[in-house]
Structure 1
Amino acid sequence: MPGPACRGGDTLVVAKLDRQARSLRDAKDIIDELTAKDVKLSIGGSVHYLKDPVGRLPFQGARNGRRVRVRSDPG
Structure 2
Amino acid sequence: MIQSTATLTCPHCGHRDTQVMPNDACVFFWTCPGCGDTLRPRPGDCCVFCSYGDVPCPPVQAAGGRPGACCG
What's the TM-score bracket when you normalise by the shorter of the two chains? 0.3 to 0.5
TM-score, with structure 2 as normaliser: 0.33
TM-score, with structure 1 as normaliser: 0.33
- Hey, which of these two has a bigger chunk of strand by percent? 2
- Hey, which of these two has a bigger chunk of helix by percent? 1
